[in-house]
Amino acid sequence: MYTFDPTNLTDLNVQLGELDGTLQLVAIRNIYVASGIRKTLPSVLDKKRKIMLVMDDTPIYAGKSEIKQEIKTMLNDKNFDVTSLVYHHDNAPDGMVHADWKTVERLQGKLDEKTIVVSIGSGTITDIAKHATYRYAQESNVKIPLIVVQTANTVTAYTSNIAVLLKDGVKRTYPSRYPDYVISDIDIIKQAPFELTQAGFGDLMARYVSYADWYLGYKCKNLSKYTEVPKMLLDDMLEYLVHNASGLKKGNVETYTVLTKALLNAGISMSIVGMSTPISGFEHVMSHTLDMVRAIQHKKPLLHGTQVAIATVFAAYAYEELLSYKEPFLRSSITFPDRKKIEKTMRDDFKQQGFSSNAIKEMLNDYRIKHERWVDAERTIHEFIKLWDVEKKKLQSLVKKGDEIKQALDDIGLDYTIPDDMEFAFTHAHFIRKRFTSADLFFFLNKLNSGLYKRVLERVVGE
Ligand SMILES: [Zn+2]
């Protein structure tokens, strides 16, 4: 039994309310997680409405049954009025369907007030369905019911009220909506390609550095809120997964169920605080930087969770170095440098990587906010450093050792070939977002350089 069960949202919302009255409660009506649970779909639908199935053209199986066809037949047999919108990968310019404004608009244009949307897919399809119905509601004031049928344990999209959309080659997070129901059939999820499961597992590892980043950001006055409730939603399941990762390789139903629930809770953990801070820190900005560099080079993006997992190992080893620093070193090395000088470095370095001047301008705007907060908080930051011996212990309690994370990734056989441009991502990620992470602290300590990267890299690739 775990502390927070996403399949019992009534109790979960009560628990959240008791722990912290400022949290947003979860506005999902129900989440179903079990083998064979897809059969429950008709019971949450309304015969007076038109059902719009939204999916891509990749066949998905549970046992020998192709479930997109199976669901269609099941609803037709029960006399529902069913139409489908299928996104074809071959029709997309780069051979891959993306959640972007075009795909969102295509679905939005087919909706009317009598529609119920049922999405069958993983992150991309879920985000398209969430955002199309969200925008429809914004424009027409009519809320369309949305049922999400999860097909893989890749991402946290199923239960979050944000959507990740591609704009000008860059993925950004936008406020969106919760689904009304989530149906997570372990028979389907277990049969998804294993690299998707590895990616979902890898994305969750981010929590072991991002939480310390959140704490740092809060202490250095970059963020105004910090709470450990989202961490409580994840910790007991993550501990189980880290120690039982090999169960996924063996197709163990129990391990798959815990991974599914952990990813569902991860989506919830961000939504209740309205920020991605619980599972997004330095490792995610590194991953976003890599995505941007790959887009410029016209390379296909790597699976999000796989890339995040690799970046998490880097960030975790970097934390070990950070936590080895002594208070006098911090006191004498901390800087509040001139922004103009930093901006010149940003312009030069990103231009050399092929970033457009517009993209650089956007970064400079975001960075300015972070830099202003840093300079404004000078006194608070000095106070924080004075208490370094105590604060260090606190940070230590929020991170996991690099070796331990690496071991878990080894246990699920995740391929952590170091992506090209990793050093650039490691040393430049902090420039692309306004949120503060450990990378910023390294930077203001004059430590975010090749030397640190090489020391960390040695440990990442070391036996
Ligand atoms: Zn992620």
Q: Indicate which CATH number applies to the domain containing 336.
A: 1.20.1090
The answer to whether residues 72 and 124 belong to one domain is yes
- pTM value? 0.95
Which of 143, 175, 192 delimits the end of a domain? 192
Q: Looking at the structure, do residues 207 and 126 belong to the same domain, yes or no?
A: no
| Gap between the Cα atoms of 82 and 86, Å rounded | 13
As given in the structure block, the two tokens for residue 121 are 């897919």
In a domain, 91, yes or no: yes
Residue 436 CA to ligand 1 center (angstroms) comes to 17
Residues 173 and 100 placed together within one structural domain of the fold: yes
CA of 199 to the centre of ligand 1 (A): 9
CA 285–ligand 1 middle distance (angstroms): 10
Ligand 1 centre to CA of 69 (Å) is 30
What is the pairing mode between strands 146-150 and 115-121? parallel
* Interval between CA 265 and ligand 1 midpoint (Å): 13
Domain membership of residue 413 (yes or no) is yes
Ligand 1 centre distance from Cα of residue 171 (Å): 11
CA of 458 to the centre of ligand 1 (A): 25
Q: How far is the CA of 65 from the centre of ligand 1 (A)?
A: 30
Tell me, yes or no, whether 217 and 127 share the same domain: no
CATH of the domain at 156: 3.40.50.1970
CA of 93 to the centre of ligand 1 (A): 25
Q: Which residues contact 216 (CB under 8 A, 6 or more apart)?
A: 395, 436, 437, 438, 441
399 and 352, same domain (yes or no):
yes
CA of 156 to the centre of ligand 1 (A): 7
Going from the Cα of 420 to the center of ligand 1, the distance in angstroms, rounded, reads 20
* 266 in a structural domain: no
Q: Is residue 265 part of a domain?
A: no
* Ligand 1 geometric centre to CA of 393 (Å): 26
| Residue 260, domain member (yes or no) | no
Query: 160 with 146: CB under 8 angstroms?
Result: no
Distance 203 CA to ligand 1 centre (A): 5
Identify whether residues 46 and 159 lie together within a single domain: yes
What's the gap in Å between 276 CA and the centre of ligand 1? 9
Per the listing, tokens 């506005």 go with 27
What separation in Å is there between the alpha carbon of 311 and the centre of ligand 1? 11
Listed residues 192, 213, 240: the one ending a domain: 192
My answer on whether 157 and 282 are in the same domain is no
85 and 208 housed in the same domain: no
327 CA → ligand 1 middle, Å = 33
pLDDT attached to residue 289: 94
Query: Ligand 1 centre and the CA of 372: distance in Å?
Result: 27
Structurally, the chain folds into a number of domains equal to 2
Q: Distance from the CA of 309 to the center of ligand 1, in angstroms? A: 9
Show Cβ contacts of residue 208 under 8 Å, excluding neighbours closer than 6 positions. Answer: 238, 312, 316, 399, 400, 405
Distance 281 CA to ligand 1 centre (A): 10
Distance (angstroms) between ligand 1 centre and the Cα of 110 equals 30
CA triple 177-169-206, angle to 5 deg: 60
Strand 170-175 relative to strand 162-167, pairing: antiparallel
- Ordered per-residue pLDDT tens for the chain, 463 residues: 899 999 999 999 999 999 999 999 999 999 999 999 999 999 999 999 999 999 999 999 999 999 999 999 999 999 999 999 999 998 887 788 999 999 999 999 999 999 999 999 999 999 999 999 999 999 999 999 999 999 999 988 999 999 999 887 677 889 999 999 999 999 999 999 999 999 999 999 999 999 999 999 999 999 999 999 999 999 999 999 999 999 999 999 999 999 999 999 999 999 999 999 999 999 999 999 999 999 889 888 889 999 999 999 999 999 999 999 999 999 999 999 999 999 999 999 999 999 999 989 999 999 999 999 999 999 999 999 999 999 999 999 999 999 999 999 999 999 889 999 999 999 999 999 999 999 999 999 999 999 999 999 999 998 6
Distance 55 CA to ligand 1 centre (A): 22
Does residue 254 belong to any structural domain of this protein? no
Question: Do 173 and 319 belong together in one domain?
Answer: no
Whether residue 237 lies inside any domain: the answer is no
Q: Name the residue range of residue 91's domain.
A: 9-192
How far, in Å, is the centroid of ligand 1 from the Cα of 307? Answer: 9
Query: Pairing mode, if any, of strands 65-66 and 162-167?
Result: unpaired
User: Do 171 and 221 belong together in one domain?
Assistant: no
Is 33 in the same domain as 180? yes
pLDDT for position 463 = 67
- pLDDT for position 92: 81
192, 211, 238 - which closes a domain? 192
Same domain? 285 vs 315: yes
For residue 395, what pLDDT is reported?
A: 98
List Cβ<8 Å contacts ≥24 apart for 252-256: 253/35, 253/186, 253/190, 256/153, 256/186, 256/189, 256/190, 256/197
pLDDT of residue 445: 98
**CA 342–ligand 1 middle distance (angstroms):** 28
278 alpha carbon – ligand 1 mean position (Å): 10
Which amino acid, one-letter code, is at 250?
K
Question: 306 CA distance to ligand 1 centroid (A)?
Answer: 9
User: What's the CA-to-centroid distance between 441 and ligand 1, angstroms?
Assistant: 22
Cβ distance 284 to 216 under 8 Å?
no
Q: Is residue 2 part of a domain?
A: no
